[in-house]
Structure 1
């Protein structure tokens, strides 16, 4: 898991050895956040093989496997999701000021199967 709760940690991550697609995605989201003046309102979490639901909760305060609205297990409640080569990107906007959690979920063996199923089942080309 790569937890990037603020702009400084996000920029520092770009100097680390990352999978090329992930590097490109991170760079793009950081640029977007800066352009929209949301650099201090974006928390990025990278979920990789071996990461557990409890680790995600510790990092962002909720589980993407449970709807924050009504507590239903495996009910997506992200605001937006996109599919990239080898990655899923669910986005959760959590306040009126634009604060958001951006998750990058690696589509790989060893990643929480329920989370991958949720992403795969909740994505459409029109999303």
Structure 2
């Protein structure tokens, strides 16, 4: 009986700590919102990370969205931000029999509207 419990504990431990992440792409500017085209220095931006995840319990329950991960990152920066610059999009999967499958977007949030207004 002890061997079965040890095996079950080992499987549970593996499923909790297993996971991988692979970058999909790097980007210079990305947004899911209507923005103006001017881009200034990102020095005034805020570094943020956004995720969109779906649960995995033996099978994947849905499909994570890159667009939702971008929206999450911009929303985390706060009001007034509408784009991300100098970032990376990664696919992150953290499951064995259960866990989650995610898109993760990291970048510097900027307000391109205020940059365009300042350039005038």
**TM-score normalised to structure 1 length:** 0.21
Q: Could you say which structure has the larger radius of gyration? A: 2
**TM-score normalised to structure 2 length:** 0.22
Say which structure is richer in strand: 2
